Amino acid sequence: MPKFSLLILPGDGIGPEVMTEVRRVIDWFIDKRNLGFDIIEDLVGGAAYDIYGTPLHDTTLAQAKAVDAVLLGAVGGPKYDDLDFDVKPERGLLRLRKELDLFANLRPAQCFDALSDFSSLKRDVVSGLDLLIVRELTSGVYFGEPRGIFTEGNERVGINTQRYTESEIERVAKAAFELAMQRNCRLCSMEKANVMESGVLWREVVTRVGADFPEVDLSHMYADAGAMQLTRQPKQFDVIVTDNLFGDLLSDLAAMLTGSLGMLPSASLGAPMDNGRPRALYEPVHGSAPDIAGQGLSNPMACILSFAMALRYSFKLDHEANRLEMAVQSVLADGLRTADLLGEDGTDSVSTAAMGDAILAQLNLSL
């Protein structure tokens, strides 16, 4: 079995406690499935600031560039709210994403059967939902120039620029087609080609890239109609590819179809490295949850499912990723819930560590 290298950055707040459960899961795969992992652990965010005076030390960044994948917990917390912008914990994460040039953000929205009553939508609309949003992450209106607040005549004007080059669209489209090939071969591209030139170019380039993927059924939708369809009939989608701004909104919308923040993993992928694996950062969608940190109340599943994404997308171990996702699903089906997943049925909640124990027990049953 080849060795995979992994940089683990637990970060702040509940980051370290959810990552402890991930480490137990990784150890299980090493012991029971004979997988080889070289693991380095380091600091990021406020934890890094406390020790290094910066939220991402250059050595940590160099390690991130050298490994197969980075797994991050969460960053931030009230203790750091008054720091200068440049050394705020979030800057560490942003720098990591930028330096690794992670242009494709993958946000799955999967509705576990046992949690389908958690959605704000009707059970039959979301039950069995399994879609993946691919959001362009490094360009578009959040980065385009000119930007700023200027004075024109006797009033101020705020300007941001939506800008996409063909190559930026091409690389994220290619990533989305490849992901669709690994799933159900359906890709829906969303933009606003009716009112934005960048959307016209987006549609043209995605269509052109699609010629190399004849197996994938490509469709196009205006992003506003896409938002409507996501709430009306989300199960019609397999993979959605969209730009940075629309992706920001649509992925949050899709996430809430599934219920709790404590369940949502994510991956950010970049260009292939010399070994053919994409540069990759895996992290839960949730933040550092300072309100519950250190109390053993946090749900470790989003972080564990982020590791499942690493197994699938960095290490191409689909069957092991499925095994881990099935273990999570079984634990939920058995009725185990951390506090964030407590509905009105009065189920007792379990601790972070007890949830980890239950997932390990299910993994043992899978052998």
Contacting residues toward ligand NAD, per CB under 6 A: 14, 74-77, 90, 93, 261-262, 283, 286-292, 298-299, 302, 340
CB of 253 to ligand NAD, least distance (A): 16
Interatomic CA distance for residues 82 and 275, integer angstroms: 42
Residue closer to ligand NAD by CB (options 93, 100) is: 93
Residue 113: CB atoms within 10 Å: 13
Dig out the tokens for 275 from the structure: 């070994």
Residue from 117, 130, 224, 357 carrying the catalytic annotation: 224
Residue closer to ligand NAD by CB (options 162, 299) is: 299
Q: Using the structure block, give the residue that is written with the tokens 């799955």.
A: 108
Active site residue 224: yes
Interatomic CA distance for residues 204 and 199, integer angstroms: 9
Sequence-ordered alpha helix ranges (H) in the chain: 15-33, 46-52, 58-66, 89-99, 123-126, 166-182, 197-210, 223-232, 244-257, 301-313, 318-333, 352-365
Residue from 142, 174, 217, 357 carrying the catalytic annotation: 142
CB of 33 to ligand NAD, least distance (A): 25
CB of 299 to ligand NAD, least distance (A): 4
CB of 310 to ligand NAD, least distance (A): 16
Residue from 117, 130, 248, 357 carrying the catalytic annotation: 248
Could you tell me how many helices (H) and strands (E) the chain has, helices first?
Answer: 12, 12
Residue closer to ligand NAD by CB (options 279, 286) is: 286
CB of 283 to ligand NAD, least distance (A): 6
Interatomic CA distance for residues 307 and 69, integer angstroms: 10
Residue closer to ligand NAD by CB (options 47, 209) is: 47
Residue closer to ligand NAD by CB (options 88, 323) is: 88
Residue from 113, 252, 318, 334 carrying the catalytic annotation: 252
349 in Cβ contact with 337 (< 8 Å): yes
Active site residue 252: yes
Active site residue 84: no
CA end-to-end distance (rounded Å), the chain: 18
Catalytic residue annotation: 142, 192, 224, 248, 252
